[in-house]
Amino acid sequence: MTKVFRITILIILFFTVQSESLLSAAPNDDNTVDVVSKVLDHYYVDFSPVGKVELPRFFYDAEGFHFFGSTTAAINSETFTDEIYLEEDEPEGAKLKPVTYHVVRTDNQPILFDFSITSHLLFFWFSALLTLAIFIPLTRRYKAGQGTKSEPQGAFHNLFETFVVFVRDDIAKPNIGHNYIRFTPYLLTVFFLILFMNLFGLMPWGVSSTADITVTAVLALMTFMITQLSASKDYWKHIFWFPGVPFYIRLILFPVEFIGIFTKPFSLAIRLFANMASGKILIFSILGIIFVFNNLFGSAVAYASSPIWILMTLFVYLIKAFIAFIQAYVFTILSALFIGMAMVEHDEIHETENI
Amino acid sequence: MELAYLAAGLGAGLVSIGAGIGIGMIGKGAMEGTARQPEASNDIRTSMLISAAFIEGVALFGQVVCIILAFS
């Protein structure tokens, strides 16, 4: 019990996806709360006391595309099965249930691409749709003149205008500089997408897609591409041949600056991912203390101390709601900062060159 | 293997100490700055968050190393 906890508290998503022992050991034991599976990506959406809704599976292999409505349908087909049913002999005709959700071909041919919809992807789509559903009507209003020629009407319009003006005036303008209006659409998109993804994690049964390294890595890759493509000549000059310093220092500075190109988006991705993943792990770990106390000291202590842990969980939950906004803000402002740093022109920074 | 857990735990603690000191010093500087010049508080808050985010990034790199250590 305590060992499972020691392991589960420490792990973050992508190191455990391949960890077979942990994934297979956890669900079968009684009294075990699998903390890490709450932030892992699944092929189902967990509506916990009610049941699971399996998501469609979509494979591409040597025979072409295969589409199944759910994992159960996939493993009951003749071509695919769950990994654990390969070794065991199951009675013929019985309906198999997915256990590991790791689908393989029955003839052991490799599945080339697995395009299956996962819970993180589903909630990513929800956030994207929500962003579109909010901003397309808003754009129509502005095109019709409401908000530009007249006052914004209603709570919905006013609320989001506040956010948009905040991103434009407090994030884009001071950090990017004179050409900021070109990048404001990207920054707004990233801000609201990350915000909605973070907030979906606070809802019951919700999953925050930003607790997945692939989602944050793709977002950071976008910032990386925009930074490199909009970079000025001086940006590259400062990386490859730093002006105004002696020759040997240039040799030292070149690798440092070159690695710096890649560490910036890397830290963007890791920061968002670790913050969102750790919040949920923390909540379940604190709730798990009740179960640890139950094992160590008996049920009376567990019952008596549970209000403390539930209040602490509430506190962490409120912190997490705050972090959802802070991390969306930090990702956006750092993106703006990196873009702005890459766009700085020569004469704006070079008073020191002649010293 | 057991020593790797110990190293990961100690490393996570040390990283937290470093990040705590760093972010604490940023908070101290920001508070002093705001107290001396309240009209600059918005600019100070923005740069405080940016610096804190950078320190947090370094700390998270350290935590990732500890996690790799615990599961290698």
Residue with tokens 């919809």: A117
A53 touches chain B (CB under 8 A): no
pLDDT per residue, tens digit, chain B (72 aa), is: 688 889 988 998 999 999 999 999 999 999 999 999 999 988 898 889 888 888 888 888 888 788 778 776
A224-245 burial, b if ≥16 CB within 10 A, otherwise e? bebbeebbeebbeebbeebeee
Kindly state the tokens that stand for A307: 């209000």
A264: chain B residues, CB-CB within 8 Å: none
DSSP state of A56: P
CA of A96, closest CA in chain B: separation in Å?
33
Contact (CB<8Å) A334/B71: no
Is residue A332 over pLDDT 90?
Answer: yes
Task: Write the DSSP string, A229-275.
Answer: HT--HHHHHHHHS-TTS-HHHHHHHHHHHHHHHHHHHHHHHHHHHHH
pLDDT tens for residues A211-258? 888 999 999 999 999 999 988 888 888 888 888 888 888 888 889 889
Angstrom distances, CA of residue A330 to CA of A254, A288, A350: 28, 31, 28
Reading phi first (left if > 0) and then psi (alpha if -120 to 50, else beta), residue A269 is in alpha
Higher pLDDT, A317 or B65: A317
Contact call for residues A182 and A330 (beta carbons, < 8 A): no
Record: contact A11-B8, CB cut-off 8 A: no
Both tokens assigned to A231: 């970079």
> Quick check: A105 pLDDT over 70?
yes
ipTM above 0.85, yes or no: no
- Tell me the angle at which helices A213-229 and A299-343 cross, rounded to the nearest 10 degrees: 10
Closest CA–CA distance from residue B69 to any residue of chain A (Å): 11
Tell which of A8, A271, A272, A325 to mutate to test the B interface (max B CBs under 10 Å).
A271
How many CA atoms lie within 13 Å of A355's alpha carbon, on the beta-carbon side? 4
Question: Chain B: nearest CA to A10, how far in angstroms?
Answer: 7
Which candidate from B50, B60, B63 shows the least CB-CB separation from A337?
A: B50
Interface of A with B in 155-214 (CB under 8 A): 170, 174
For residues A209 and A121, the answer to whether their CB atoms sit within 8 Å is: yes
List the structure tokens of A99.
């256990």
Q: For residue B58, which residues of chain A lie inside 8 Å, CB to CB?
A: 267
Give me the pLDDT at residue A26, please. Answer: 43
CB contact under 8 A, B60 and A329: no
Q: What is the DSSP letter of A98?
A: -
Query: Residue A146 forms beta bridges with which residues?
Result: A150
Lowest mean pLDDT among A92-96, A101-105, A343-347: A92-96
Give the model's pLDDT for residue B60.
83
* Cβ–Cβ < 8 Å for B55, B23: yes
- Please check whether residue A338 is in contact with residue A187, taking contact to mean a CB–CB distance below 8 angstroms: no
- Which pLDDT value is given to residue B49? 86
Q: Which of residues 229-268 of A touch B (CB under 8 A)?
A: 267
CA A151, A154, A159, A161: dihedral to nearest 10 degrees? -30
Query: Any CB–CB contact under 8 A between A11 and chain B?
Result: yes
Do B64 and A274 make contact, defined as CB atoms within 8 angstroms?
yes
The pairing of strands A80-82 and A44-47 is: unpaired
Shortest distance between the Cα of A57 and any Cα of chain B, in A, equals: 30
B28, B27, B24, B12: which is closest to B60 by C-alpha?
Answer: B12
